[in-house]
Copies of this chain bind each other. A is one copy, B any other.
């Protein structure tokens, strides 16, 4: 029930502009200094929008940050390359790029920690990770249907085996995500699926 009112038309360009620059500033601050640096006053200073106006559009600081995080959740691309290896390599490279390119790259560690105590951010993280696993899942199903691998394959295990090491490098060991490392990981996943 979208009640359309005569005078409060929700397309006032001032409103859309304010929201946009506020979120842009919040994302930039999150990227540069993490959740600790993204204060309302810093967002105000950076965006040029008065603090008062920020509170006119969001009830509190956390709501602003949730909007900022939502605004940059990347969508997984999922082309059917025709082969299992091609599909897996594509997803791995896609994820590697996301994990090493701002803004997502810089936001992941803070998001993982914040999700621990904030249910709203926890849901966002869950959506993000599920969205990353599904294409791998689908690629395995396609490979089964093509007869490339046996029907007993475990798509979920394949997704974990492929994505886990990539996240591990970004979050834990902090080593670079090289093309060779991606290739090795893809081969290992293929091997696991073929062994079934």
Residues of A bordering B, CB below 8 Å: 33-36, 106, 109-110, 112-117, 122, 125-126, 129-130, 133, 154, 157, 160-161, 163-169, 171-174, 181, 184-185, 187-189, 191-192, 195
Contacts and interface: CB of A to CB of B under 8 A. Distances in A.
A171 B112 contact: yes
Contacts of A173: 126, 129-130, 133, 160
Contacts of A163: 164, 168, 172
A165 to B, nearest CB: 3
A172 B129 contact: yes
Point out which of A169, A181, A191 has the most chain B C-beta atoms below 10 A from its C-beta: A191
A132 to B, nearest CB: 8
A171 B165 contact: no
A190 to B, nearest CB: 9
B110 A116 contact: yes
A161 B174 contact: no
A171 B160 CA distance: 12
A165 B110 CA distance: 20
Contact of A171 (B36, B130, B171, B174): B171
